[in-house]
């Protein structure tokens, strides 16, 4: 694991690049759409909770959590992608966030039980 520290350059304090970037799909489709959407499955709340959890665990300088539009796996949502590992999670629920933070974001071990199956993009 990389150690993240602030440093000064030319009299200014800078924040280093994060180790990981987490994308949470917030796309919403019209009600009744056969593909469904992450938004209708509660991704906005999940995003807010994950962002707060990352900050609360002291990971704020090591991990960036961003909202995104469609990640092309609507029927498998809520979809979460973690970079630079290119790990994609399917069907993420709020109850999974603690384990994602501790195992993957803190220790670098992706969660096999949530991995997106190797399926065609929708």
Mean pLDDT of the chain: 90
Mapped onto helix, strand or coil, the DSSP state of residue 87 is: strand
Q: pLDDT confidence of 31, banded at 50, 70, 90?
A: confident
In a domain, 35, yes or no: yes
pLDDT for 11 equals 66
Residue 74 lies in a domain: yes
The Cα 98–Cα 104 span in angstroms is: 10
Instruction: Assess if residue 73 is contained within a domain.
Output: yes
- CB count within 10 Å of CB 51 equals 18
pLDDT, one tens digit per residue, over 74-107 is 888 899 999 999 999 999 999 999 999 999 999 9
User: In terms of residue numbers, what domain contains 69?
Assistant: 26-114
| Total number of domains constituting the chain | 1
| CATH number of the domain enclosing 110 | 3.40.30.10
What's this model's pTM, rounded to 2 decimal places?
A: 0.86
8 located within any domain: no
- Does residue 12 sit within a domain? no
Q: Does residue 65 have a cis peptide bond before it, meaning omega lies within 30 degrees of 0?
A: no
């Amino acid at each position: 694991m990389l150690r993240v520290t602030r440093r000064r350059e030319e009299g200014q304090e800078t924040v280093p690049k994060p180790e990981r970037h987490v994308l949470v799909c917030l796309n919403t489709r019209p009600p009744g759409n056969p593909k469904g959407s992450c938004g209708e499955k509660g991704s906005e709340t999940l995003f807010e909770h994950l962002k707060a959890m990352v900050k609360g665990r002291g990971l704020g300088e090591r991990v960036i959590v961003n909202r995104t539009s469609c990640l092309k796996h609507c029927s498998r949502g809520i979809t979460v992608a973690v970079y630079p590992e290119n790990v994609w999670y399917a069907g993420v629920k709020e109850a999974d966030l603690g384990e994602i933070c501790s195992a993957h974001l803190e220790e670098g071990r992706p969660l096999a039980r949530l991995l997106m199956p190797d399926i065609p993009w929708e």
